[in-house]
Amino acid sequence: MKHRVVLGFAAALGLLVAATFVVPSQISVAPKAIETSVIRSSDLLEKAWSLPVASAYDKRVTWQSNGSRCGPASLANSFRSIGEDETTEADVLSGTGTCWTGYCIMGLTLDELAELARKKTSHQVTVLRNLTAEQFREHMTHANDPDRRYIINFDRRTIFGAGAGHHSPVAGYLEAEDLVFVLDVNEQFKPWLIERDRLFAAMDTLDGDSKRGLLQIGP
């Protein structure tokens, strides 16, 4: 029995150690690269925050607790904006067995995030993958629909030149400017705007053998 306890402790410790190597690689982007890669002009951000969906977030984003938990943090923020009870990472993960070490080792895939979401909401949850640029544009026009929420899975390297895969809520689309409003749940990045085609390029990448994509919650 003692031998099994020691082995179990060693296995858990190994997972935690592994997590410490995974997490830093997800946030290793220079501040200057962030500043020059996305749009944060005060007038455009103010306009974005006034959009129907963005306003439901009340200009507030609850940051992910570590670099591997962007998915649960994105769900928590999205759920808060539609009036669900699960409005923290802990609430979203409670009772699911997901990320039980405190880290989502290697992060969650889009399908894993969808499975987690379905356990916590009665809203329809849809994985949108292998979208064309035109299909992506169509979904972005619906990003201002109060009955929908989108979470995007994208590759930071495509936008910032460094980093790894990441999830964050999409809170709106400035159609006249062709800019998408992303509520980045990583405090280092904070919310930003980006040209739709550049965000599509970051989403239209591989996560293992599958393309990244969008998670749609509702209607």
Ordered structural domains, the chain, with CATH: 2-217 (3.90.70.30)
CB atoms within 10 A of CB 93: 23
The per-residue pLDDT for 172 is: 98
The per-residue pLDDT for 29 is: 83
| Helical (H) or strand (E) element with 166 | strand 165-174
What is the C-alpha to C-alpha distance for residues 99 and 60, in angstroms, rounded to an integer? 24
DSSP for residue 66: S
What is the C-alpha to C-alpha distance for residues 76 and 167, in angstroms, rounded to an integer? 12
Model confidence, pTM? 0.87
The per-residue pLDDT for 72 is: 96
| Helical (H) or strand (E) element with 19 | helix 2-25
What is the C-alpha to C-alpha distance for residues 132 and 113, in angstroms, rounded to an integer? 22
Tokens representing 119?
Answer: 């356990």
Encode the chain (219 residues) as per-residue pLDDT tens digits: 555 544 454 444 444 444 444 443 445 788 888 999 999 999 999 999 999 999 999 999 999 999 999 999 999 999 999 999 888 999 999 999 999 999 998 889 999 999 999 999 999 999 999 999 999 999 999 999 999 999 999 999 999 999 899 999 999 999 999 999 999 999 999 999 999 999 999 999 999 899 999 999 998
